[in-house]
Structure 1
Amino acid sequence: IMKWLLLLSLVALSQCRVTKVSLKKGKSLRQNLKEHGLLEEFLKKHPYNLASKYFPSLANDYASEPLTNYMDIEYFGTISIGTPAQEFSVLFDTGSSNLWVPSVYCSSPACTNHNRFNPSDSSTYQDTSENVSIQYGTGSMTGILGYDTVQVGGIVDTNQIFGLSETEPGSFLYYSPFDGILGLAFPSISSSGATPVFDNMMNEGLVSQDLFSVYLSSGSFVMFGGIDSSYYSGNLNWIPLSAETYWEITMDSVTMNGQTIACSSGCQAIIDTGTSLLAGPSTGISNIESYIGASDGTISCSDMSSLPNIIFTINGIEFPVPASAYIIDQRGSFIDVPTSSGELWILGDVFIRQYYVVFDRANNQMGLAPVA
């Protein structure tokens, strides 16, 4: 009896995992375009509307979803799909919910210079008759949905639905440092109703806790099923979600040197690993840039040391972001969210680099603590 109990315990342990996926910080699309002398032309042709990710009705011909500020995205990790495994570099995006990768069915330039999934090389692939379409800046990612084994770190998810791209129009994906996207938001915003990867992990009992955590400082990673307290100082501050779509919370205010500069009556904020910068309504962003003396977004080197923190107060707790974080190459890391749907802020990587973030699906809450 003891032998069988031990075996059962080992089986349970093998199925319930905590796994850490290392994230690379590589060249951003902005850097790649600049090195190829294409940045200025690209920006003229493809103006950017961040609001389209969160409010599709506001999308214009150039709006994109789900790559938000794709120009500066730098964090991506490796997963594998199929049997035997085919490896892909993906953006782990808490602001979208679909997993998709380029496929051999796609002949767009953006596919031909990235890893492409070949279903015929996988003995575990199952096709479907379903299509998937996600709008991008110069067209769309279109493709088909299929099922296969997806391995993320040490977790093997044997029946995961994912998108195989057939078209990827435009040039921005051509220069992106990752192959595809692994969305970590809620099923309610998943295109074609496809079950997100983390939902499948939870449903199959593949994670020891129904949460994942993100660390974007030195040695970046996303950890599925666990929290590593050695990467943060103090205690985690738990914040309830205000919606189960994106990782959306209610923010109390945005202040600098004790002066309220935005969100004076409370507002909504989304914590999004797929957005590089700090984004907010035009008035709030203008107030910040005016307060720090930015001219066309540029800051004088001599002013850097005297710039104040931006304080985001959430659930009664102050979360400061110092000038060393929000000024990059003498420019403020801010972008407008043009929306008529109330005051919305997107706390992207500029914010997340300062805090260890726990995305808790079991309790629909988020945990934040300063990085150690």
Structure 2
Amino acid sequence: MSFKYLLLFQLILLCVAHNQGKSVKLSKKQAHHKHHKSQKFLDSIMDVNDDSIELLLQKHENFYLAEMTVGTPEQKLTVLIDTGSPNLLLTSSLCQQNSCIQHGSYNPSLSTTSYYIEAIKLANGEVGNEIDIQFASGSVVGVFFEDRVCLNQYCVNNQFIVGIVEQSEDIFSQMKFDGILGLGRIKEAVVKNASYIHNLEYDTDTRNFSLYLSNSDDDDMSSELVLGGISQHLIAPGEEFKFFDVTSDNLWTINIKAVFLGDERIDDCNNCQGLIDSGTSFISFPVYAMEKFYQKFGIYQLCSNIDSFPDLTFVLDRGIKFTLSGSQYFKRNTHALFSKDICIPYIKNNPIIGDELIVLGQPFLIHHYVWFDEDQSKIGIVKSKQQSHQS
């Protein structure tokens, strides 16, 4: 029996990677990259020490990936780091579609620690033996397993896994990863205790984590996921975290009071929410806001004019503002059929998100360091060192 599990706000955008990314490694912090409590509020909600876990991420164009092993003996897979979903979702050997077999896959029959779950009580209270997960760009059908899962030496025994047995052929065949490591909120998970980081047996508070996405090839500015802490060296000089209440039990959302393009307000928000989503390659606005954006810019601009583009400013609770410059919300076209001086926006509309949701995807995260606090239902945002270099 199949049960529909809708992830309406998860926006997985297509991107074909052409370049080899950086290597992945997981290690304890070195002395010159110590984790810190950045201010008094952070002191009160974090127990940060040198045992916090650092994961340096691999970047394939618009995807931020980590290497994971599953089963006994270990099967090596590459997973997308995604704050917009909470589950561990892996392509499985049970899927024989072309879109599956061209990826690495989890083969439960080769693992002595694998356990197939015939039926389970889902988060919606129903009992099922498979699940249909809807994304904006396609869908997958999965069945349930438990097995040993590791990021380097940090392992969880009996980790809950959704193994893909069917997926949209035309969509997922182009993805450059084998699964999704969800870092979304616990209550959105398929079942209770499905989240890898919340199951991790380690002497740190891994329910809370920080995420930094780099757009740089500088090894000192590599993308980082830190479980149970922050990396002080990633914060722009003189900046401190600003903290905001999470407005949903299921998603990493915060209040957005207004959005400005230069001096012009482009939103009609009464109660707009901003979803912090590392799995989305763009900032997504409701259709009405994009109409105002296109009236200003059209669908592309000459890159030679980029310094004159107005700032894009998000006004959050207490009037706190976070701003992207034109060069931070536009990107240079790389398609061979078009001029290299054409820049297109990192911004798109998405009809399914409605009029009250704004998705703060990678263009926002690349220029801000974000702390996700499950225990206190808080999100902390600070201008990143990378943004200060580009300002």
- TM-score greater than 0.5 by the shorter chain: yes
| AA matched with 1:269 | G
Q: CA deviation at 1:337?
A: 2.8
- Counterpart-to-counterpart distance in 1, 2:165 and 2:271: 43
Of 175, 189, 210, which residue of structure 2 is paired with 1:213? 210
| AA matched with 2:315 | T
Q: Is 1:343 matched up with 2:356?
A: yes
Work out whether residues 143 and 163 of structure 1, in 8 Å CA contact, stay in contact via their aligned partners in 2.
Answer: yes
**What is the aligned partner in structure 1 of residue 182 from structure 2?**
183
1:1-372 to 2 correspondences below 5 Å: 17-27=51-61, 73-129=62-118, 130-136=129-135, 140-191=139-190, 195-201=194-200, 204=201, 207-217=204-214, 218=216, 219-233=222-236, 234-263=239-268, 265-291=270-296, 294-295=297-298, 297-315=299-317, 316-329=319-332, 330-338=343-351, 341-372=354-385
Larger deviation: 180-189 or 356-365?
180-189
SS in 2 for 1:110: helix
Q: 1:8-51 CA distances to partner (integer Å, 9 max, x unpaired)? A: xxxxxxxx952222222214xxxxxxxxxxxxxxxxxxxxxxxx
Q: CA deviation at 1:353?
A: 0.4
User: Structure 1 residues 332 and 340 mapped into 2: Cα distance closer, same or farther (>3 Å)?
Assistant: closer
- Counterpart-to-counterpart distance in 2, 1:139 and 1:324: 31
User: Structure 1 residues 106 and 348 mapped into 2: Cα distance closer, same or farther (>3 Å)?
Assistant: same
- Counterpart-to-counterpart distance in 2, 1:360 and 1:177: 29
Q: CA deviation at 1:135?
A: 2.7
- Counterpart-to-counterpart distance in 1, 2:112 and 2:381: 42
Work out whether residues 210 and 227 of structure 2, in 8 Å CA contact, stay in contact via their aligned partners in 1.
Answer: yes
Q: CA deviation at 1:264?
A: 5.0
User: Structure 1 residues 154 and 212 mapped into 2: Cα distance closer, same or farther (>3 Å)?
Assistant: farther
- Counterpart-to-counterpart distance in 1, 2:279 and 2:101: 23
User: Structure 1 residues 77 and 263 mapped into 2: Cα distance closer, same or farther (>3 Å)?
Assistant: farther
Q: CA deviation at 1:194?
A: 6.7
Q: CA deviation at 1:354?
A: 0.6
| AA matched with 1:227 | I
Identify unmatched segments of 5+ residues in structure 1. Answer: 1-15, 28-72
- Counterpart-to-counterpart distance in 1, 2:269 and 2:143: 45
Work out whether residues 17 and 154 of structure 1, in 8 Å CA contact, stay in contact via their aligned partners in 2.
Answer: no
**What is the aligned partner in structure 2 of residue 44 from structure 1?**
none
User: Structure 1 residues 117 and 17 mapped into 2: Cα distance closer, same or farther (>3 Å)?
Assistant: farther
Alignment TM-score, normalising by the size of structure 1 = 0.77
Q: CA deviation at 1:308?
A: 1.4
Q: CA deviation at 1:124?
A: 1.5
User: Structure 1 residues 362 and 138 mapped into 2: Cα distance closer, same or farther (>3 Å)?
Assistant: closer
| AA matched with 2:380 | G
User: Structure 1 residues 172 and 264 mapped into 2: Cα distance closer, same or farther (>3 Å)?
Assistant: closer
Larger deviation: 115-124 or 269-278?
115-124
Q: CA deviation at 1:273?
A: 0.5
| AA matched with 1:198 | I
- Counterpart-to-counterpart distance in 2, 1:321 and 1:154: 38
- Counterpart-to-counterpart distance in 2, 1:220 and 1:276: 15
User: Structure 1 residues 309 and 103 mapped into 2: Cα distance closer, same or farther (>3 Å)?
Assistant: same
Work out whether residues 289 and 332 of structure 1, in 8 Å CA contact, stay in contact via their aligned partners in 2.
Answer: no
Identify unmatched segments of 5+ residues in structure 2. Answer: 1-49, 119-128, 217-221, 333-342, 386-391
How many residue pairs get matched?
Answer: 307
- The structure in which a higher percent of residues are helix is 1
User: Structure 1 residues 253 and 134 mapped into 2: Cα distance closer, same or farther (>3 Å)?
Assistant: same
- Counterpart-to-counterpart distance in 1, 2:262 and 2:57: 34
User: Structure 1 residues 249 and 90 mapped into 2: Cα distance closer, same or farther (>3 Å)?
Assistant: same
| AA matched with 1:156 | C
